[in-house]
């Protein structure tokens, strides 16, 4: 019987047709991919002229012209590669009318939403609560653009800005009159001059800092981060920069009009703040040095509450420097217009509080007194009965200054519906009306416990390398595993990423390396990699860690020798308008898109950004298109660009520039 044979010619023909069809499909697909890549490469290698060139008056590079108002005009961010629009068929400008935001009235030119003086008068004056943060309710939020003063000018470049500022930018003469004999500030023609004086350093800040440097090490890299309470115009912090010490200066918005505004106009780190009833927005063990020069804080009152807060934010082994009354009262009491008994009682009370915190008195010389915090609490706990120490704080997280709540039953962060100092929280569709919680953490008259150590010679929390090595050394919080989810390997990778990204930023924002920018803010700083990559430039970076971030990394940032603060971006930042030259926002709107209206976040960015300042957004293309549609109505010019790794990365970059415009002069100004 013959064997059946199934391989008929007809069957072979069908197989051949299928193979040919598959070959054609694969071939055409390959060619499509090849031509797409070649087209992207060709486009990215061809320099293009962008819409930014007409919107910069910074005057820092070789292409400088002069504008009608006397400001320098330069070419701004130029897209030399990776232009998003050429690679993607996305309609960036829809046919819908752009919602144009009007200018606010000139009376709002220096508006600080959460430190508004009118709103503050409604609150208790006890412990200066009326000067703390009291943010407007949702219905009070402004939907207009804060105007710059008439004849606003680009600030002086650093380091000249340390000594000079334009009067037209901050038209306030009060301090130049009130503090004339103390050399805080002087008005010379159309500009202010800052001689470097202060209430307690008539010979100038440099000489005053030299006096401190003879008592504690200021130049060997041991001290890198400092905090100046009641900073005035921040001359102390300005001159510490010569010693590679980065200072967080703060002062309230009070009768000394525009102290913090002057500091930021000078290019010196500062923010509005006060020692009142709430914790400062910084993590525990943040600062190497704390300073008070006649800052008028009643350190001895409220069971030592304010010194306990300094103890919380001071690093193990850190120093506290106090000058002015009541220090060395036996010599200076006549000039202070107070009785000897009153001054002695105050200094004795301060000494008692310092002892109860286990601080060691290092030295008292002339009008300076220096204490040092212990490197651990081993000896303090052994001798607490002798020292009559207050109890240890029972808080499970000494870093928290701003609440971020987690709802275990509904697996999401509780969202804010708030007014002033309380908020009602809800989670998704679940409204928890019984929850009425304080949004800021109150001060506690207790000792913040330091991490445990195995020996009295060990530094609690881990020793930190000296500056500048500490900028890139693995921080102790990461080495010890106390920052969940962050490993040493991840830290190293983040540093590498930001070096590459900064190189890309230099290509798309031409003035970046030229000194065009001085005050920079990173709105979602993570590990501070962006700020660390900027260390070689004449800039400083305010590293902001949003309170609802997945990781609380602000302590890591301080351990690197950088500075920053906590912030809820559903609220305004504690600064004056027009105080930042460059704002960086990486992944911020992914974090906040379902938490509050991002329009108000963008309006806040416009408030704190200088005219012709720049913003760099990094986010998904869908969010960037939405952001661009809003900023188009804010008088910004912007362009979406591809990720530095190429067009196939889903993350994109939006570079935006705030255009120059000012408000109209009022009759009083005329």
| pLDDT at site 305 | 95
CA distance 161 to 152: 15
8 Å CB contact between 155 and 169: yes
Condensed to tens digits (0 to 9), the pLDDT of residues 31-61 reads 777 666 666 554 444 333 333 433 344 333 3
| pLDDT at site 53 | 39
> Minimum mean pLDDT among 275-284, 391-400, 580-589: which range?
391-400
CA distance 451 to 324: 33
Residue 522 has pLDDT above 80, yes or no: yes
Residue 328 has pLDDT above 70, yes or no: yes
CA distance 464 to 215: 21
Question: For 218-240, what is the mean pLDDT?
Answer: 95
Residue 97 has pLDDT above 90, yes or no: no
CA distance 514 to 617: 21
| pLDDT at site 87 | 52
| pLDDT at site 180 | 60
Q: Do domains 202-384 and 469-658 have the same CATH topology?
A: yes
| pLDDT at site 611 | 97
Question: For 522-543, what is the mean pLDDT?
Answer: 97
| pLDDT at site 383 | 80
Give the tokens for residue 171. 């038209």
Give the tokens for residue 329. 């009262």
User: Based on C-alpha coordinates, what's the Rg of the chain?
Assistant: 29
CA distance 531 to 543: 7
Pairing of strands 651-658, 564-567: unpaired
CA distance 291 to 448: 19
Q: What secondary structure letter does DSSP report for 437?
A: E
> Minimum mean pLDDT among 22-36, 162-176, 280-294, 414-428: which range?
414-428
- Give the list of residues 6+ apart from residue 64 with CB closer than 8 angstroms, or none: 72, 73, 74
Residue 103 has pLDDT above 60, yes or no: yes
Confidence bin at 429 (pLDDT 50/70/90): very low
Residue 566 has pLDDT above 90, yes or no: yes
8 Å CB contact between 257 and 174: yes
Condensed to tens digits (0 to 9), the pLDDT of residues 170-216 reads 998 877 667 666 778 889 999 999 988 777 788 899 999 999 999 99
SS3 content of the chain, % helix, strand, coil (to 5): 30, 20, 45
Nearest one of 657, 658, 663, 575 to 148, comparing CA atoms: 663
Q: How many CB atoms lie within 10 A of CB 155?
A: 24
Phi, psi of 453 (to 5 degrees): -130, 160
8 Å CB contact between 433 and 424: yes
Query: Can you give the length of the chain in residues?
Result: 670
In 3-state terms, what secondary structure has residue 330?
helix
Condensed to tens digits (0 to 9), the pLDDT of residues 297-310 reads 999 999 999 999 99
- Produce one character per residue of 35-57: b if its CB has 16 or more CB atoms within 10 Å, e if not: eeeeebeebbeeeeebebbebbb
3-state secondary structure 256-272: CCCHHHHHHHCCCCEEE
Nearest one of 415, 444, 442 to 427, comparing CA atoms: 415
Question: For 333-354, what is the mean pLDDT?
Answer: 90
- Give the list of residues 6+ apart from residue 513 with CB closer than 8 angstroms, or none: 506, 537
Geometric angle at alpha carbon 658, from 653 and 659, rounded to 5°: 135
| pLDDT at site 669 | 47
8 Å CB contact between 316 and 285: yes
Residue 345 has pLDDT above 80, yes or no: yes
Residue 475 exposure: Cα atoms within 13 Å on the Cβ side: 24
CA distance 45 to 3: 66
The CATH number of the domain covering residues in 469-658 = 3.40.50.150
- Tokens 């050394």: give the residue: 473
- Give the list of residues 6+ apart from residue 481 with CB closer than 8 angstroms, or none: none
| pLDDT at site 46 | 36
Higher pLDDT pick, 640 / 512: 640
CA distance 117 to 97: 37
Give the tokens for residue 214. 């003879």
Question: For 122-150, what is the mean pLDDT?
Answer: 95
| pLDDT at site 423 | 41
Confidence bin at 15 (pLDDT 50/70/90): low
Question: For 425-444, what is the mean pLDDT?
Answer: 54
Question: For 247-254, what is the mean pLDDT?
Answer: 91
Question: For 250-260, what is the mean pLDDT?
Answer: 82
CA distance 271 to 565: 10
| pLDDT at site 666 | 58
- Tokens 């806040």: give the residue: 604
> Minimum mean pLDDT among 22-36, 233-247, 405-419, 489-503: which range?
405-419
Question: For 101-108, what is the mean pLDDT?
Answer: 96
CA distance 586 to 655: 12
Which CATH code of 3.40.50.150, 3.30.70.520, 3.30.450.90, 3.40.190.10 fits the domain covering 202-384? 3.40.50.150
Confidence bin at 620 (pLDDT 50/70/90): very high
Domain residue ranges of the chain, discontinuous segments joined by +: 202-384, 469-658
- DSSP element (H, E) containing 654: strand 651-658
> Minimum mean pLDDT among 132-141, 510-519, 537-546, 582-591: which range?
510-519
Residue 647 has pLDDT above 80, yes or no: yes
Confidence bin at 653 (pLDDT 50/70/90): very high
């Amino acid at each position: 019987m013959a064997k059946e044979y199934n391989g008929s010619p007809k069957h072979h023909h069908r197989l051949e047709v299928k193979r040919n069809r598959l070959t054609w499909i694969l071939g055409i697909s390959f060619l499509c991919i090849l031509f797409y890549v070649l087209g992207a490469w060709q486009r990215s290698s061809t320099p293009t002229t962008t819409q930014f060139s007409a919107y910069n008056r910074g005057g820092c590079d070789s292409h400088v012209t002069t504008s009608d108002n006397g400001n320098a005009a330069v070419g701004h961010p130029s897209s030399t590669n990776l232009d998003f629009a050429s690679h993607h068929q996305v309609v960036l400008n829809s046919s819908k009318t752009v919602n144009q935001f009007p200018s606010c009235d000139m009376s709002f030119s220096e508006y600080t939403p959460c430190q508004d003086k009118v709103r503050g008068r409604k609150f208790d004056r006890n412990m200066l609560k009326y000067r703390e943060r009291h943010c407007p309710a949702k219905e009070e939020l402004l939907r207009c653009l804060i105007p710059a003063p008439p004849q606003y000018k680009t600030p002086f470049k650093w380091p000249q800005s340390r000594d000079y500022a334009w009067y037209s930018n901050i038209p306030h003469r009060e301090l130049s009159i009130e503090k004339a004999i103390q050399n805080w500030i002087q008005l010379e023609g159309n500009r202010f001059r800052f001689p470097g004086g202060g209430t307690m350093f008539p010979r100038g800040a440099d000489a005053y800092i030299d006096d401190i440097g003879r008592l504690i090490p200021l130049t060997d890299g041991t001290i890198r981060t400092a905090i100046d309470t009641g900073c005035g115009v921040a001359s102390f912090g300005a001159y510490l920069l010569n010693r590679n010490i980065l200072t967080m200066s703060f002062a309230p918005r009070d009768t000394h009009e525009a102290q913090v505004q002057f500091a930021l106009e000078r290019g010196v780190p500062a923010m509005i703040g006060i020692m009142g009833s709430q914790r400062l927005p910084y993590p525990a063990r943040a600062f190497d040095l704390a300073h008070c020069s006649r800052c008028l804080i009643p350190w001895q009152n409220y069971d030592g509450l304010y010194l306990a807060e300094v103890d919380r934010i001071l690093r193990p082994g850190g120093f506290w420097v106090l000058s002015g009354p009541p220090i060395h009262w036996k010599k200076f009491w006549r000039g202070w217009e107070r009785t000897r008994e009153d001054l002695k009682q105050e200094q004795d009370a301060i000494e008692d509080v310092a002892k109860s915190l286990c601080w060691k008195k290092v030295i008292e010389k002339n009008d300076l007194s220096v204490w040092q915090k212990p490197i651990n609490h081993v000896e303090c706990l052994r001798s607490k009965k002798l020292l009559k120490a207050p109890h240890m704080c029972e808080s499970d997280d000494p870093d928290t200054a701003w609440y971020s709540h987690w709802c275990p039953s509904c697996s999401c962060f509780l969202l804010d519906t708030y007014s002033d100092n309380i908020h009602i929280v809800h989670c998704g569709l679940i409204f928890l009306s019984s929850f009425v919680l304080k949004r800021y953490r109150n001060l506690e008259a207790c000792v913040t416990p330091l991490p445990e150590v195995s020996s009295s010679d060990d530094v609690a929390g881990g020793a930190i390398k000296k500056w500048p090595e500490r900028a890139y050394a693995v921080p102790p919080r990461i080495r010890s595993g106390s920052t969940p989810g962050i490993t040493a390997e991840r830290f190293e990778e983040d540093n590498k990423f930001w070096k590459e990204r900064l190189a890309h930023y230099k290509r798309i924002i031409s003035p970046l390396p030229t000194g065009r920018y001085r005050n920079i803010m990173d709105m979602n700083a993570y590990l501070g990699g962006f700020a660390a990559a900027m260390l070689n430039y004449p800039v400083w970076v305010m590293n902001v860690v949003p309170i609802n971030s997945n990781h609380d990394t602000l302590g890591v940032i301080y351990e690197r020798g950088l500075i920053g603060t906590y912030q809820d971006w559903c609220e305004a930042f504690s600064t004056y308008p027009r105080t930042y030259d460059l704002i960086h926002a990486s992944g911020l709107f992914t974090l906040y898109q379902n938490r509050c209206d991002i329009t108000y976040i963008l309006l806040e960015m416009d408030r704190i950004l200088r005219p012709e300042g720049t913003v760099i957004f990094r986010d998904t293309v869908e969010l960037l298109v939405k952001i661009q549609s809003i900023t188009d109505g804010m008088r910004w010019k912007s362009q979406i660009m591809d990720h530095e790794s190429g067009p196939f990365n889903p993350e994109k970059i939006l570079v935006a520039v705030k255009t120059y415009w000012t408000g109209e002069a009022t009759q009083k100004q005329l």
